[in-house]
Structure 1
């Protein structure tokens, strides 16, 4: 049973971790309450960028490891859902971001007149933009091809998984709040509006880390994703009409044509944020097994997924 691993959680963190483990020779099963398309990951925007995530030193390494993977996956965008797209981070100064930016090609500080929406400064970049429904389906198919078995089941504790495998990997996101339990976990609600794309080809973000309101839009195939919110402790699962109207209005101040775009739908997701940052750690299980935690990625799970998966997989044989 030493090579058997059960990954609990079937979002982007769980599937990436499962695939990494399988490609290292482990026999892997994924236990997930939800189908891939029903996870929080399916709602994400999703632009590669280390957004509101700690601890900074580890995040830089995880992010860059993941960036290299996405750059390769972008070579088959139709299958993987990963494209390299140009855009602007408003209110962002390159010199404030840290040494990791030296490893990201094409970052360029903009003059005020180059930044749309009247923002005083900004940063131009070409970054991976991931179409999450496509990417999650690719991860699922790639995992199954590598021998991973995906099972729909609700997990109420890790003891059941520990009886079935020598290693259990906790990729439960916000569910870790009750399962571990971890009182440091908290939900940060994100609401999005999907509209017909009026011809916008570049992404845009203006995300004040201290505000519950953000402004961004991401051109994805067949739609333009508008955001957003970062509402601490708000667990409402449904969209709020007033919030949706405010999101459209903020985005339209940057690109006026968005105001008249037909609304296609609304999305809400609860980011699994952890005070103190991402937790990747191992602890013993009864009977000599090992429980590995890999959760608390907030709104940057896609950004760090591959780096975190590799570190978690290292612990499986540690």
Structure 2
């Protein structure tokens, strides 16, 4: 079938790749090039963050874990499997997504930082998005799929010349699909030079002031924020200082790391991920958006379901 994917973030590109691999004639249309999307800003630590419903998110996350695990052997993909810890200030049960990962252990009490009473330890994919987005675009080119830049005033304008539209517009679906349940969740991070860190660490005890330190090959991502309903993409110096202080409290070496840049994005939050087919007057639309802070984590699992939805239309 002839398919136009709207959106060039990680969900759109991954869906386009899987569709092309399945033999469909695919093109991607997006308001921004991949390196300008929210996906490019993501710390991209595999974690089912702010994405629902739990059963489907667990399934999608498990499928993506397996896909990223297979990609980790190819350094060009930007994927590495890294061990890390999530820390808690009170005892907690196992996470609802436990079945999505092959192993998860408790952090022993004598290995917990001061002020923490519990923690998980696990190995998950960490994706350098600057590399992975380019890797996806290169893979699409090999399959004859191009990425075109253009803005749509309405979703129906994506239909001319194709049989199916796949809506992976992220926060843009609020206008394109008329979905007022979508809302931005602002995230700000600091990019610092790699200082020899191999393991990640995460603290979500303060929901709007996250603390995470995520290593990549040549950089480390320090975060972050999660501000509901806030789409402001300007860097806020006060938040930068707060992020640096929180991260240094967990990883003291972060305090002396050279700052390379500051990034801000808006996560596309929704009560539940929308992955379904809608039959419109001009043709069918497969919607795949509302992944919250888990676009990377859900990308390959959701892409497989997009391919299945398109198959049923054939």
- TM-score band, normalised by shorter chain: over 0.9
Give 2:52's aligned residue. Answer: 54
- Runs (5+) with no aligned partner, structure 1: none
Q: Give the Å deviation of 1:38.
A: 0.6
- Runs (5+) with no aligned partner, structure 2: none
Q: Work out the number of aligned pairs and report it.
A: 311
Give 2:138's aligned residue. Answer: 141
Give 1:75's aligned residue. Answer: 73
Q: Give the Å deviation of 1:305.
A: 0.5
Name the Cα RMSD after superposition.
1.5
Q: Give the Å deviation of 1:102.
A: 3.9
For 1:163-312, what aligned pairs fall within 5 Å after superposition? 163-208=160-205, 211-274=207-270, 276-287=271-282, 289-312=283-306
Does the CA-based 8 Å contact 2:91-2:117 persist in structure 1?
Answer: no
Does the CA-based 8 Å contact 1:290-1:316 persist in structure 2?
Answer: no
Residues 139 and 157 of structure 1, relative CA distance in 2, 3 Å threshold: same
Q: Give the Å deviation of 1:117.
A: 5.1
Summarize deviations over 1:29-60 as a string: whole Å, max 9, x none.
Answer: 10011111111100000111111210000001
Give 2:124's aligned residue. Answer: 127
Name which of 17, 20, 27 aligns with 2:18: 20
- Rounded to whole Å, the distance in 2 between the matches of 1:115 and 1:31 is 47
- Rounded to whole Å, the distance in 2 between the matches of 1:102 and 1:65 is 11
Query: Which deviates more, 218-227 or 155-164?
Result: 155-164
Residues 117 and 135 of structure 1, relative CA distance in 2, 3 Å threshold: farther
- TM-score, normalization by structure 1: 0.94
- TM-score, normalization by structure 2: 0.95
